A and B are shown apart, each in its own frame.
Chain A
Amino acid sequence: MLQLDNVSFWYPGAAVGVSDVSLEVRPGELVAVIGASGSGKTTLLNLLAGFLAPRQGRVVIDENDVSAMPPEKRDLGIVFQSYGLFPHMKAWENVAYPLKIRGVTAPERKKRAYEALVRVGMGNRSENGPRELSGGQQQRVALARALVFEPRGMLLDEPLSALDANLRVEMRDEILRVQRAAGIATLLVTHDQEEALSIADRVAVMRDGRLVQVAPPRELYDAPADEETARFVGEANLWRGSVVSSGKVKTPVGVLTCDTRGYRHGANVIVLVRPENVMPLIASSEKAPNAFAGSVEADRFLGSTRRLDLRVGDGSIRVETRIRNAIDRVTITPEAIRLLTPTNERQ
């Protein structure tokens, strides 16, 4: 298990770093850390890896405090953004290197390196040097190298950012398959929220060096901790509003009927509605709750879906739908509406 206990770190003379972060990655679990650049996610990875030492708090691996331990003693497999394959070694020599360090005999390490390469589908390229491999192939070799010595945990630092879109999806599945097969605690750092949502068991959102929310992908998407998280994770309609009576919230697009439990009359709220939960009304006579009519401001064709911005009242409603007909009326079911407390009014 990988664990950070109230860890703080700041770079000398700089405001960036991480502040009082606690996070654990359980055996076999894949936790993705997401956040904008400068949010502290890479610092978090460097603290776990041992390239940085926490100024406060503890880093714990399998119940041992490793805060002061150098990286080479931590027994963690790391896949770096640039893969970091040694250019003077062949693919199998790269994979065999951690075994060489651990004193495994030459024939044994060649055998194990080859097996590890076969597991990532690179058995036929074991004699190639890194320069003869494509980005995706280098990634696979790096993955094999990070796992061959059966580390106590795996850290992935933006492992897919250098790959093109199609390959990224393929490698994402590959990473998940290999991680599941190894049953190893894994921390994935990424700026790509789709990547995080699609493969992580839990997602940790970082902002300004702090951990804002740690939750399973579905929960993070449906119930984000605050407005910024909602905006960062997926597309969102976010309207400022106020509770006008029980079950009614006034927003720039009109009054919405929804569950207002937990909010008193007059309270300021942020209303969150995911665009795919806004349903177009095709038959104009159709009765529906929270129905709004408006004019189309923008209409984007995205292949399988279509994203529209509908001008309604003083605001705009973003709709994501598969329907290709003309749309000027939409409905939002009360269950699809979530109220959030504005950031400046949070305790």
Chain B
Amino acid sequence: MFLITVLYLVFLAAPILLLLLGSFGDSWSNTLLPQGFTWRWYLEIAGDPSFRRAFITSLQVVVATCALNVIVGLPLAYAIHSAAHRGVRFAARLAALMPVAAPELVLAFGFILVFSSDTLPWLGSFWLLVAAHLVLTLPYSVTTLLADMEQLRLGDFENVAASLGAGFLQRARDVTVPLLGASLTSSLLTVAALSIGEFQISNLISGFLSRTYPVTLLQAFYGATGFACAATVVLLVLAALASVASSLTARVTGGKAS
């Protein structure tokens, strides 16, 4: 059992380690490990205009996707949570979770079909990319928020606040949002991690000027190995940071509810 676990961990970690090694290796061809040490690949990435643009686009997409997740996801989760009718709750939950079940390729084809027409010619635009990321990430934020709303017994606290005289907006300001703060942060970091690493849909619907980092990364593999490794490590670090922060805030939320 122990051996299997170790082998599994090695299997998981090996590609990441090799990428790290490769990104600092001066040359890597026909050898098991790269030769020499260099910062060159990172400097090249930083100096490459297409990578810089893609990096900035990715950050912009992440910020916009997170913002839209708050604007759309929070009210949606709240509406599902407070829907009196069980059937409505179920249907809303199903609709919100659907993008997880549908393959990304199918979603991308849908986007291409609808938004390449003359009536809606938005394929390749920044905001369509953000919309696609929103569709993909919304299920995660809504599910996290819904679970926390139930765990925190938000409905009970809202009733308490109402009985003390607080109207809808006052309840949202003083009770709902403060109670959900940690949960919201945690779900947004998950959204950020997903959005940063998203490739399939972005590759199919982004335009030449709205390419995200992972899409541009694909091109790096046609060049030098060290360059490709360094470009991948940048993405890995970003995604890892978001995941770690998300886990940490999730722990805070879990602690709060107990």
Contacts and interface: CB of A to CB of B under 8 A. Distances in A.
Interface stretch (A83-91, A118-126, A209-217, A255-263): A83-91
Given A80-B156, A82-B156, A101-B170, A88 B179 contact: yes
Interface string B125-160: 000000000000000000000000000010011011
Contact of B163 (A77, A82, A87, A88): A77
Nearest to A142: B160
A70 B160 CA distance: 13
B48 interface: no
Contact of B160 (A73, A75, A80): A80
A76 B157 contact: no
Chain B contact residues, majority secondary structure: helix
Given A87-B179, A88-B178, A88-B179, A72 B157 contact: no
Contacts of A70: 162
B256 A98 contact: no
A149 B160 CA distance: 14
A141 B65 CA distance: 42
A16 to B, nearest CB: 16
Interface in B173-213: 174-175, 178-179
B160 to A, nearest CB: 4
A145 B162 contact: no
Contacts of A100: 174
Given A86-B175, A87-B179, A72 B160 contact: no
Given A84-B156, A84-B157, A97-B166, 19 more contacts: A49-B163, A51-B159, A70-B162, A71-B159, A72-B164, A72-B166, A77-B163, A80-B156, A80-B159, A82-B153, A84-B159, A86-B161, A86-B175, A86-B179, A87-B256, A97-B174, A100-B174, A101-B166, A102-B165
Interface of A: 49-51, 70-78, 80, 82, 84, 86-88, 97-98, 100-102, 145, 149
Interface residues of B, number: 18
Contacts of A149: 164-165
A110 to B, nearest CB: 16
A78 B179 CA distance: 21
Contacts of A84: 156-157, 159-160
A77 B164 CA distance: 7
Nearest 6 pairs of A and B residues by beta carbon: A84-B160, A98-B164, A71-B162, A78-B163, A101-B165, A72-B162
A71 B164 CA distance: 8
Nearest to B171: A72
A75 B165 contact: yes
Nearest to B167: A72
A71 B179 CA distance: 21
Contacts of B174: 86, 97, 100
Contacts, number: 56
Nearest to A77: B163
A78 B178 CA distance: 22
B159 A86 contact: no
Contacts of B256: 87
Contacts of B153: 82
B163 A76 contact: yes
A49 to B, nearest CB: 6
Contacts of B160: 78, 80, 84, 86
Contacts of A76: 163
Contacts of B159: 49, 51, 71, 80, 84
A87 B157 CA distance: 10
B163 A72 contact: yes
Contact of B164 (A50, A87, A97): A97
Residue in B156, B159, B163 whose Cβ sees the most chain A Cβ within 10 Å: B163
B27 to A, nearest CB: 57
A251 to B, nearest CB: 49
Nearest to A73: B165
A17 B159 CA distance: 20
Contacts of A86: 157, 160-161, 174-175, 179
6 contacts: A51-B162, A70-B162, A72-B163, A72-B167, A102-B165, A149-B165
Contacts of A98: 164-165
A102 B167 CA distance: 11
A80 B167 CA distance: 19
Contacts of A73: 165
A101 B174 CA distance: 10
